[in-house]
Chains A and B, each alone.
Chain A
Amino acid sequence: MKPINQKAWWLVLPVFICVAFSAVLPLMTVVNYSVQDIISPDRRVFVGTEWFAAVMRDEELHSALWRQLSFSLAVLAVEIPLGIALALSMPARGWQASLVLVLVALSLLIPWNVVGTIWQIYGRADIGLLGAALAWLGVDYSYTGDATHAWITVLAMDVWHWTPLVALLCYAGLRSIPDAYYQAARIDGARRFAVFRYIQLPKLRGVLMIAVLLRFMDSFMIYTEPFVLTGGGPGNATTFLSQYLTQKAVGQFDLGPAAAFSLIYFLIILLLCFILYNWMQRVGTADREGAGHE
């Protein structure tokens, strides 16, 4: 298919250098810390895999991991269908399209700490719109007191904040489908759902892959928003992995264990993304082969 050309490496080189400088170098420092006990900057002891073993046994970490997994899966389950539906319902052309695009994208542009702060006020029953509305409906709502409410609020905040990303990607993907496809479907008398299932969804596969992976990895690393909104509480209902890590690294200043934790954390995300990536690719290929047989 594509011509083989090893010189193409030269074109990739600048990216390689940038990423090596800003990612590989720092990561190596982390690896270096993870196998040492740093008592003071000049006194370090090599401890091998001791920190890794300690981190793996950490009960709190396990519960943080489960909380994180269920949160990220909930994020995907809500944001991906909602984003697709939103993209399908957005107007395709004219000034309405421009207006809706800008309005939908607004929440993406708010700094993450501001997002948390707005929702902090927004959710308060006495002075916030959401809290007051819920109280008026008779819901005894409190994101600071009730663990379930806190969890749902963080989820709602994430849905509010990030669904536009999925929607924008899908919208761009939808606009790239040539009109001829729809005309052919109309001639065949295809139903609305069939058009979605056999024309739009396959064409969206590429952008959906980006959307799913981005949302998955970013929600897995969520830090600022829940930190500002709930501070991880009540109890530790909304203490996700990043926050637990920061507590360890900054709060207790345990560099070695924190570094080991970081690496395990990174490997978990990597593994899950790899599974997702391959699974989505397989689903896509099976789809195309299925379509070929018809």
Chain B
Amino acid sequence: MNEARFRWRTLFLLGYLLFALLPIYWMVNMSFKTNQEILASFTLLPQQFTLANYATIFTDASWYSGYINSLIYVAINMVISIAVALPAAYAFSRYSFIGDKHVFFWLLTNRMTPPAVFLLPFFQLYTTLGLMDTHIAVALAHLVFNVPLAVWILEGFMSGIPREIDETAYIDGYSFPRFFFTIFLPLIKSGVGVAAFFCFMFSWVELLLARTLTSVDAKPIVSVMTRTVSASGMDWAVLAAAGTLTILPGAVVIWFVRHYIAKGFAMGRV
């Protein structure tokens, strides 16, 4: 009985992984082909194996600087999101105050605004402030969807920590900052890891805002990629190579937080 269940589970899992990995395999496959081969024939493995597409990306500054720009604004965004979300999540998980439930839901509503709605206002706001085409502009714009999510996730983790720990620390004479950084933060570091991963992910893959707010100096990789569409047709091979490379930083991040996810969290409030 148990054996059979185990087998069904494994089969289901393998089936899903096949479904999940086939498109990725196809992209990696394309990235080692020439454009001619991609468009002319159906081949499961590259017949004329080439690294030229990757060479294009690594030797052309306008390509690889795209990765650097993206990493910069994603990192800034991650740091700001977590830094402001930590105290707020602590407040929501530990205290009642006027309007706490409303503010919590209001925070979530900011995640419900379609980015398309914000394009023009952001453009005007950042032009006025002289922030256009800077990393900080994209990082600030992405706060709209990352801060609410970070607060939500961190609040869940914090609610899982018994309040007695705080009280004991205060009785022992800890000040709030000292308690927060030396005792509380280490307890919820898995929560910080998970929240950071989600912030990274949503900021890394977002295209619309990042493209609108940058032109040259802070141009992100997602918008550099749209360059492969030209009058002479698509440069599928280079696009596939660029796409393959965009997975790597995220894969590294998830490798670091995998233990935190595997440790588990349940949400307290909701």
Contact = CB atoms under 8 A, between A and B. Distances in A.
Interface of A: 1-9, 11-12, 14-19, 21-23, 25-27, 29-30, 33, 82, 85-86, 88-90, 92-93, 97-98, 100-114, 117-119, 121-122, 126-130, 132, 160, 164, 168, 171-177, 192, 203-207, 209-210, 213-214, 217, 220-221, 223-224, 241-242, 245-246, 249, 255, 262, 265-266, 269-270, 273-274, 277, 280-281
Nearest to A125: B42
Interface string B107-141: 11111111111111110110000000000000011
Q: Which interface residue of A7, A221, A223, A266 has the most chain B CB atoms within 10 A?
A: A221
Contacts of A85: 12
B96 interface: yes
Q: Main secondary structure on chain A at its contact with chain B?
A: helix
Contacts of B44: 129
A249 B144 contact: no
Contacts of B268: 206
Contact of A127 (B10, B42, B109): B42
Contact of B143 (A22, A221, A266): A22
Contacts of A109: 201, 204-205, 246-247, 249-251, 254
- Sorted nearest first, the 4 A-B pairs with minimum C-beta distance are A206-B267, A175-B264, A109-B250, A176-B264
Given A25-B121, A172-B261, A160 B19 contact: yes
A266 B262 contact: no
A70 to B, nearest CB: 18
B251 A129 contact: no
B95 A106 contact: no
Interface of B: 5, 9-10, 12-13, 16-17, 19-27, 30, 38-42, 44, 80, 83-85, 87-88, 90-92, 94-98, 100, 103, 105, 107-122, 124-125, 140-141, 143-144, 147-149, 151-153, 156, 160, 194, 201, 204-208, 221-222, 225-226, 236, 239-240, 242-243, 246-247, 249-251, 254-255, 258-259, 261-270
A275 B210 CA distance: 32
Given A103-B17, A117-B243, A15 B85 contact: yes
Given A3-B94, A111-B221, 16 more contacts: A5-B96, A9-B91, A11-B91, A14-B87, A15-B107, A15-B151, A19-B110, A26-B125, A29-B125, A109-B201, A114-B27, A127-B42, A129-B44, A132-B42, A214-B111, A277-B105
Nearest to A1: B96
A173 B255 contact: no
Given A15-B147, A113-B226, A117-B239, A203 B116 contact: no
A23 B111 CA distance: 9
Contact of B152 (A18, A100, A164, A210): A210
Contacts of A269: 112-114
Nearest to A20: B110
